[in-house]
Amino acid sequence: MSAGYSSITCRTALSPSKLPGLQYSLNPYVGCEHGCLYCYVPSVLKNQKLAENWGKTVQAKQNIAKVLAKEVKTKPRGTVGVSTVCDPYQHLEAKLELTRKCIKILAEHGFHVSIQTKSGLVLRDADLIVPEKFDVGVTITTIDRRLASIFEPGAPPPDARAHVLEEFYSRGVETWLFFGPIIPSVNNDVETIKEVVNVASETKSKLLYDKLNVNGWVMKQLDPAIALLNDPELDASVVMRWNDESWGQTSSKVEEICRSFGVKCEPAFQRWHNKDGEGG
């Protein structure tokens, strides 16, 4: 999947973050080529044009490394989330290397960098991503390649993402797995949960899990995906929404399975959702 892109300039590179464990967020791109149908970022950014073209167009902050190089000299040291409203290693990064330039600057100036991605491109930067200075998180919603291709049409397949965790674990870098969003009747069955948790177990990764956020344009994006599943029992208007009881049952199921695998886990709702639109 290839998206069109344009260049823009930014005034700041490091934005204050309200996510637990992060003091700053850094997003080299506006938009994401992965085009995941469940992504709520356009909604929280209140950008209808971005939502209607999600996965088809990306804006690259061409001057972000230069801006960052100035900011790191004056801002207090802290942990930087890369990225919170886009994938820092989407396809365009292979050409522009904005993320690579930024994480190099951050590490050289004493900032801890927390990376979240769906892409194996992050392995390109393994020479920079070293223990103590970095942690790496990978989003995996399912191990089923077909299901992933429906909901995450432009993202690398699940096994490639699992390989990222394996590689960084072998290098001594702290790793974590983000299991989300969990969608009712799509990826909340016991077998799917076990397969995802097993990846975390084999890579000694902490697991963070979260439910589907259906704000804004998300439902409109998901309707075509539900149709592709060819399941007459799936009704998007009902299936895509959690209530407290159904989410509580699924949450308990995830935590029980994690315990059986010896995997540390925690709900990530507060970590990955807030009014500013930060999230995985």
Alpha helices in 203-240 (DSSP H): 218-228, 236-239
User: Strands, DSSP E only, in the chain?
Assistant: 4-8, 15-16, 24-25, 29-30, 57-61, 79-82, 112-117, 134-139, 174-182, 206-211, 265-267
Integer-rounded Cα Rg, in Å, for the chain is: 18
Q: Report the SS3 class of residue 147.
A: helix
Tens of pLDDT, residue by residue over 7-24, are 999 999 999 998 888 999
What average pLDDT score do residues 104-124 get? 98
DSSP string, 76-113: PP-EEEE-SSS-TTSTTHHHH-HHHHHHHHHHHTT-EE
The dihedral sign for the CA sequence 232, 238, 239, 244: negative
The 8-class DSSP code of residue 123 comes to: G
Question: What's this model's pTM, rounded to 2 decimal places?
Answer: 0.90
Calpha distance 203→164 (Å, rounded) = 10
Is 279 among the domain residues? no
Going by C-beta distance under 8 Å and a sequence separation of 6 or more, which residues neighbour residue 243? none
Is 105 among the domain residues? yes
CB atoms near residue 171 (< 10 Å)? 14
Cα 115 versus chain centre, distance: 9
Is 215 among the domain residues? yes
Is 251 among the domain residues? yes
CB atoms near residue 190 (< 10 Å)? 11
Is 209 among the domain residues? yes
Of the pLDDT bands very low, low, confident and very high (cuts 50, 70, 90), residue 278 is: very low
CATH code, 234: 3.20.20.70
Is 33 among the domain residues? yes
Is 168 among the domain residues? yes
Beta pairing class for 112-117 and 174-182: unpaired
The 8-class DSSP code of residue 59 comes to: E
Going by C-beta distance under 8 Å and a sequence separation of 6 or more, which residues neighbour residue 86? 27, 28, 29, 30, 31, 32, 41, 58
Which residue carries 């399941």 as its tokens?
Answer: 231
Tens of pLDDT, residue by residue over 206-218, are 999 999 887 767 7
CB atoms near residue 72 (< 10 Å)? 19
- Residue 109's identity, in one-letter code, is H
* Residue 143, domain extent: 4-271
pLDDT given at position 234: 64
Is 118 among the domain residues? yes
If one counts the domains in the chain, the total is 1
Tens of pLDDT, residue by residue over 126-160, are 999 999 999 999 999 999 999 999 999 999 999 99
